[in-house]
Chains A and B, each alone.
Chain A
Amino acid sequence: TQTVSQSDAHVTVFEGDSVELRCNYSYGGSIYLSWYIQHHGHGLQFLLKYYSGNPVVQGVNGFEAEFSKSDSSFHLRKASVHWSDSAVYFCAVSPGGSSGNKLIFGIGTLLSVKP
């Protein structure tokens, strides 16, 4: 059974700060890892995805995430946040194969960016 853990329910930073949102997963086989963002009242939007290769993947709007097999982690980072980055961020995993279309999401981390 795959699980996704986002240990921080709420993170508050100031505009211009850097931020790291944590994601840990448990799964024994090959998986795809992704991050999605949800602004209030809207659907989720894709940020970035990792399967293999360079463990640091770049996404939209200056976001990047780093995969660590040893830590079973896929943390999301941004060097300098903007107020518009305030949203809920979801980490998701999906196994390959016939279940590859079934994304398993974490509970989400609410990022609040103060001016």
Chain B
Amino acid sequence: DPKIIQKPKYLVAVTGSEKILICEQYLGHNAMYWYRQSAKKPLEFMFSYSYQKLMDNQTASSRFQPQSSKKNHLDLQITALKPDDSATYFCASSQDWDWGGVTLYFGAGTRLSVL
């Protein structure tokens, strides 16, 4: 059974709309992350959270807002969607936020297409 659940698996949105990507982890981990994989580009770090607190934000746009209602949840709200936001968004977790070399566990991703 998958231990990191991302919903939905596929998502189609129109330009200008807003969507929420869901992530729940059942590994008992204390740190969670969002990564984005656009076509022909490497996975790109977006956010890291530890005990529901934002630790690092590498996303320039405020249109991307993580939301953590519980320690094992880290949703991603994206507003004013643009075609360039089309990508696969991966949620990940690690046992703890650490000072280096964390081992990440990934969900299967949400593939977002913005028309």
Residues of A within 8 A of B (CB): 4, 30, 32, 34, 36, 41-46, 49, 51, 90, 94-108
**How many A-B contacts are there with CB distance less than 8 Å?**
78
Instruction: Report, as a range, how many residues of chain B touch the other chain.
Output: 20 to 34
Within 8 A of A (CB), among B65-115: 90, 92, 94, 97-109
CB pair A100–B98 under 8 Å, yes or no, is: yes
Give CA–CA (A104, B102) in the complex, Å. Answer: 12
Partner pick for B56 among A49, A96, A102, CB 8 A cutoff: A102
Residues on B with beta carbons closer than 8 Å to the beta carbon of A42: 108
For the complex with contacts A43-B106, A94-B102, A101-B31, 11 further pairs of A-B residues with Cβ separation under 8 Å are A32-B100, A34-B103, A36-B106, A43-B92, A43-B107, A96-B100, A100-B98, A100-B99, A100-B102, A104-B42, A108-B42
